Amino acid sequence: MHTELLLFCALTACLLAGTAFLHLLPKLGTLGKHISDSFCRAPWLDFIVFYFTILPLILGPFIAGWMGLITSILSQLATLLLWQSLHEAFHRDAVKGPRIIKVINKKFGPARNFSALYVTALATPIFWMVRMAELTVYPLLVILVRLPPYKMADWINVSRQKFTGLVGHDLFWCLYCDWMTGVWSLGTEMLRNVESFWCPIRFYCEKKCENCSIDFPDVNNGWVAANASMAEVAETLERMYADPKEPQSWFGHPLRNKDRTTKP
Full domain range(s) for residue 106: 99-198
Together in a domain, 114 and 193: yes
Percent of the chain beyond pLDDT 70? 97
Last residue of a domain, one of 27, 60, 90: 90
pLDDT digits (tens, 9 = 90+) for 40-88: 999 999 999 999 999 999 999 999 999 999 999 999 999 999 999 999 9
Together in a domain, 70 and 121: no
Together in a domain, 38 and 68: yes
Which residues, in sequence order, are CB contacts of 133 under 8 Å at separation 6+?
187
Together in a domain, 78 and 1: yes
Res. 246: pLDDT tops 90? no
Question: CA triplet 127, 132, 136: central angle to 5 degrees?
Answer: 155
Which residues, in sequence order, are CB contacts of 123 under 8 Å at separation 6+?
180
- 3-class SS at 231? helix
How far are the Cα atoms of 39, 138, 172, 239 from residue 156, in angstroms, in the given order? Answer: 11, 15, 16, 33
Supply the pTM of this predicted model: 0.91
Torsion over CA: 46, 47, 49, 50 (sign)? positive
For residue 222, give the nearest of 191, 199, 188 by alpha carbon.
Answer: 199
pLDDT digits (tens, 9 = 90+) for 178-228: 999 999 999 999 999 999 999 999 999 999 999 999 999 999 999 999 999
Q: What is the DSSP string of 202-218?
A: --S-HHHHHHHTTT-GG
Rounded distance, CA 213 to CA 221, Å? 9
Last residue of a domain, one of 90, 117, 136: 90
- Domain count within the chain: 3
Rounded distance, CA 215 to CA 200, Å? 15
Res. 245: pLDDT tops 80? yes
